[in-house]
Chains A and B, each alone.
Chain A
C-alpha cells in the first residue's frame, strides 16, 4: 500500500509537465481592438495593449497587424512588441463600418470559441475606420485609450442602458430568426471618441443607423429601464393655457426627464393579419422644462403626459417604418410571432416576407410622478 502511494506520487511528480506560465510582466494585455479592411481585402487589427515597465507613466501602446485572419493579424502584431499578446482582458471590439456592412459573423466566431476571450466582451461599430479611434492623441482623454473606450460603453450596460452589447447577446440575436441585433456606433468628436449612433443590423450585416437620441426607444422595448435621461421636444400649442403669459415665445417646449421606471411588452393580437400591440409604460421624473409652466395644476401635468405619449407613439411609428424599409426586426416581433405559431418554427425567409406587412399599434402610457417643489 505504501509502495503504491509512493509510486503514484512520484509518477505524478516526475511525469507531469509544467503549465506554461503567463507572468504578468511578460504579457501584453489587449484591452480593446479594432477591425478594419485594407485595400487588398486583408484584415487589419489595431489594438490597445497594456505593457508593463517599471516607472513608466503610460502603460498603453497601440499596435497593429495585418493578416488574412484575425488570429493571423494578431500574430503579425505580436511580432512588433516584445511581449506575448494575450486576449484575456479584451473588453471591446470595434468594427469599421465597412466591415460591419459586409457582415461580422466570421469575426465573432473566433471570439466566441476561444476560451481565453472573456464573455463580457462588448461590440461596437466605428463611424468610419476603427483604427482612427485608437490613434487619437492621449491628451484629449484623461486615461489610456483602452480604459476610456471601455468606460464609454460600460456604465450603461449595468443599468440596462443602451450601448453595452455583449458578444453573447449579439450572437444569440444573429442566430435567432425573429430578432435582429443593434450595436453602438463610436465616432470622433473634437478628437474624443463618443457614442454617436445606433447601428441597425440585419443578422450580422449592418443595414442602417439611427442617432443616439433614439436609444431609449430600443431599451424600453427590451425590458425594464431605470434611471435613463430622456429629452422631448413638444409643440407649443396644446400648452398655451398652462403657460404664464409673456414668459417667452419659442416654438417648441423642451423637456428633460428621468425615466424612473419604464418597460415595454409586445403582444400578438391577430396571428393571421399580423397585428401586434406594443404597450410601453413610462414613469417620469420631470427635471427640466424650457418655459415656465403651471406644474401645480394636475390638468397641466395630464396635458404634458398626453403630449409626451403622443410624441413617443409617433416616434415609434417612424422608427418601425424605417426598420420595415431595412427589413430588420430589432424589436423582435418575429420572436413573439414564432412563439405563438404552431410548431414554433420560423424561417428567415418566411419572416423577411411577412415582416414589412405587420401592423403594430403602439400604446404608450406616460406617468409623471415627480416634478419637484413648485411654490417657493
Chain B
C-alpha cells in the first residue's frame, strides 16, 4: 500500500510538465517543493516574452549571479528572444536542460539557477553552486614531525586536487560512485590503473555498488559498511587524514576511498602492521625509520601485556619477579588493601577517564587536565594507599606505548584489548595471559581485509616484504612493491641500475 502510493507520487513528478505559464510554474513549484520558502522566483518581461529566473538563494554564489543575469536583462531588443539566442550571449558553459519536476527540484537543491521562457518545452539551468568548505589545514589526529603537514578537508574536490598534485600521473583513476538513497553522497575510489590489483578494485567496486543504505555519515562509517567483518574489534581498513600517506599507499598498489564531506580517507586492503606504519618512517633515514617502526611494534605488545603481567605476577607467579624488584614491589603492595586485579583495573579506569576527558574538553582546559590528572591524582592515589607506586609506572608505561600507534582507530582497539587480558590475568595468572594472547592470535589469523590475510607478510610468510613492513632498508633495496598485495606491476625501478655508482670520471 505504502509502496504503491509512493510510486504513483514519483511517477507524477517524472512527467514532463512543460509548456507552462510562468504563474503556473510558480504555483507548481511552491506547492510541491518542500523548500519553497527559500526559493527565489523572479519574473521578467523581455522582448514581450515572460521569463522566470529561479534558484535557492543560499545554494547559489552571489558573485556568479551577476554575469548570469546580465545578458538576460540587457538583451538586445532587436533579436528574437529564444533559448538559442540567449545561450549565445551567456558567458557560462555547461548549461543543461530539464523538463520534469523531479529533475528541476534535484538541480535546485544542488545549487543550479534556472531560466524558463514561457511556453517553451524545457527550462535551462546553470550550476552557480556555492559550496562552503574549510581550506586545507594542518593534520590534527595524525601529526608528523617531518613531511607535508597538509590534511584532507571536507571538500572532495579539494581532496582530489591535493592528491592529483601528490600523484601527478595519468595512471591515477578517480572512479565515481554515489552512495545513499535518501541523501546521496559522492564517493570516489582512487587507484593506479597499471599497479592496483584488479580483483581488489573489483571487490571494492562491487561492495560500494551493492551497498544499500539510506545515507552514510562519512568515510569512517562507509569504511565500517565495507569491511569484511563488521562485528570485529579490529579495524580492517586503514584510515588517514594525510594526503601523503594516501598517495604513498595508492602508488604501492592499494586502493584509496574518499567521501564527500569527510576529512578522512581510508585505504584498502590493510594488515595489522600497516596500522603501525607512518610515512615518517620514509622521511627518516632508514636506520631511524627501522628503529621507530620496531619501537612502535614493541610498544603495541608492551601496551597490551605489561599491566596483565604485573597482575599475574603479583597475584600468582611471584617467582618471575627478579629478587631485587621483589622487595620494592612487595613493600609497595603491602600498603594496598585490594587484590592486584582490582588495583590495576582501578588505575586503568582512571587513566581512561583522564584520556577521554582530555579528548572532550576544549584544548586549553584539556592540557591542564592531563597534567593535573597525571601528576596529582597519581601521587594522591599512592599516598592514599589505593595503588602501589610500581603499578603507576606500569600503567603509565602501557598508556604511553599505546599513544605511539599512528592510527587512532587501532590505538583505541589496543586500549580495549587490555581489559579482558587484565581480567584473565587476575583469574588465571600467566596461563590466562597465554590463553588470551593465543585467542587473539587465532582470531587475527582468521581475519581478512578485502579478502586478503590480515597478518601478511608473517602469515602467509613473505620474507621479501619484511623490509616494507617491519623495518626499512635503503631505497636502493626497495626496488619492488609489496608482493603480499599482488600488484599488477611488481617492479618499481631497476635494481641493478639503482646500485650503480656514477662518478664523474667514468
Is A50 a contact of B330 with CB atoms below 8 Å? yes
Least CB distance, B41 to chain A, in whole angstroms:
60
A81 CB–B CB distance under 8 Å: no
Contact residues in A for B321 (Cβ distance below 8 Å): 24
Q: Indicate which residue in B323, B331, B427, B428 contacts A54 across the interface (CB closer than 8 Å).
A: B331
B315 CB–A CB distance under 8 Å: yes
Known: A19-B427, A19-B428. A24 touches B323 (CB 8 A): no
Q: Indicate which residue in B326, B332, B429 contacts A89 across the interface (CB closer than 8 Å).
A: B326
Contact residues in B for A52 (Cβ distance below 8 Å): 327, 330-331, 333-334
A208 CB–B CB distance under 8 Å: no
Known: A19-B428, A89-B326. A24 touches B319 (CB 8 A): no
Q: State in angstroms the CA–CA spacing of A18 and B321 once bound together.
A: 23
Q: How many A-B residue pairs have CB under 8 A?
A: 69
A91 CB–B CB distance under 8 Å: yes
Size of interface on B: residues with Cβ below 8 Å to A: 25
Known: A19-B429, A53-B334, A54-B335. A88 touches B327 (CB 8 A): no
Interface of chain A residues 7 through 60 with chain B (CB within 8 A): 18-19, 21-25, 27, 29, 31, 50, 52-56, 59
Q: State in angstroms the CA–CA spacing of A86 and B330 once bound together.
A: 14
Q: State in angstroms the CA–CA spacing of A213 and B476 once bound together.
A: 60
Interface of B is mostly: helix
Is A24 a contact of B318 with CB atoms below 8 Å? yes
Is A21 a contact of B326 with CB atoms below 8 Å? no
Contact residues in A for B319 (Cβ distance below 8 Å): 88-89, 116, 118
Contact residues in B for A291 (Cβ distance below 8 Å): none
Is B318 a contact of A89 with CB atoms below 8 Å? yes
B450 CB–A CB distance under 8 Å: no
Is A147 a contact of B427 with CB atoms below 8 Å? no
Residue of B nearest to A144 (CB): B327
Q: State in angstroms the CA–CA spacing of A118 and B321 once bound together.
A: 13
Least CB distance, B49 to chain A, in whole angstroms:
72
Q: Indicate which residue in B324, B330, B335, B429 contacts A24 across the interface (CB closer than 8 Å).
A: B330
Q: Indicate which residue in B324, B332, B339, B428 contacts A23 across the interface (CB closer than 8 Å).
A: B339
B256 CB–A CB distance under 8 Å: no
Q: Indicate which residue in B330, B340, B427, B429 contacts A59 across the interface (CB closer than 8 Å).
A: B330
Is A29 a contact of B318 with CB atoms below 8 Å? yes
Q: State in angstroms the CA–CA spacing of A21 and B341 once bound together.
A: 11
Is A27 a contact of B318 with CB atoms below 8 Å? yes
Is B318 a contact of A54 with CB atoms below 8 Å? no
Is B330 a contact of A25 with CB atoms below 8 Å? yes
Is B315 a contact of A21 with CB atoms below 8 Å? yes
Least CB distance, A148 to chain B, in whole angstroms:
12
Q: State in angstroms the CA–CA spacing of A29 and B327 once bound together.
A: 10
Contact residues in A for B329 (Cβ distance below 8 Å): 24
A216 CB–B CB distance under 8 Å: no
A160 CB–B CB distance under 8 Å: no
A150 CB–B CB distance under 8 Å: yes
Q: State in angstroms the CA–CA spacing of A257 and B336 once bound together.
A: 53
Q: State in angstroms the CA–CA spacing of A75 and B383 once bound together.
A: 36
Residue of A nearest to B320 (CB): A88
Least CB distance, A46 to chain B, in whole angstroms:
19
B314 CB–A CB distance under 8 Å: yes
Contact residues in B for A59 (Cβ distance below 8 Å): 327, 330-331
Residue of B nearest to A52 (CB): B330
Is A54 a contact of B334 with CB atoms below 8 Å? yes
Least CB distance, A179 to chain B, in whole angstroms:
31
Contact residues in B for A86 (Cβ distance below 8 Å): 318
Interface of chain B residues 276 through 315 with chain A (CB within 8 A): 313-315
Interface of chain A residues 181 through 200 with chain B (CB within 8 A): none
Residue of A55, A86, A89, A150 ringed by the most chain B CB atoms within 10 A: A89
B316 CB–A CB distance under 8 Å: yes
Contact residues in A for B326 (Cβ distance below 8 Å): 24, 29, 50, 89
Contact residues in B for A118 (Cβ distance below 8 Å): 319
Q: State in angstroms the CA–CA spacing of A24 and B335 once bound together.
A: 12
Known: A23-B339, A23-B340. A150 touches B323 (CB 8 A): yes
Least CB distance, B80 to chain A, in whole angstroms:
77
Is A147 a contact of B323 with CB atoms below 8 Å? yes
Contact residues in A for B316 (Cβ distance below 8 Å): 19, 21-22
Is B315 a contact of A88 with CB atoms below 8 Å? no
Q: Quick one: CB contact mask for A150-161 with B, threshold 8 Å, 1 for yes? A: 100000000000
Q: State in angstroms the CA–CA spacing of A78 and B321 once bound together.
A: 22
Q: State in angstroms the CA–CA spacing of A19 and B332 once bound together.
A: 24
Q: State in angstroms the CA–CA spacing of A88 and B313 once bound together.
A: 12
Q: State in angstroms the CA–CA spacing of A163 and B150 once bound together.
A: 65
Is A25 a contact of B333 with CB atoms below 8 Å? yes
Q: State in angstroms the CA–CA spacing of A161 and B436 once bound together.
A: 42
Q: Other than A18-B427, A19-B427, give 14 A-B pairs with Cβ distance below 8 A.
A: A22-B315, A24-B318, A24-B329, A29-B318, A52-B327, A52-B333, A53-B331, A53-B334, A54-B331, A86-B318, A89-B318, A89-B323, A118-B319, A150-B323
Q: Nearest 7 A-B pairs (CB), nearest first?
A: A52-B330, A88-B319, A54-B335, A52-B334, A25-B334, A25-B333, A54-B334
- Which residues from chain B sit less than 8 Å from chain A, CB to CB? 313-319, 321, 323-324, 326-327, 329-336, 339-340, 427-429
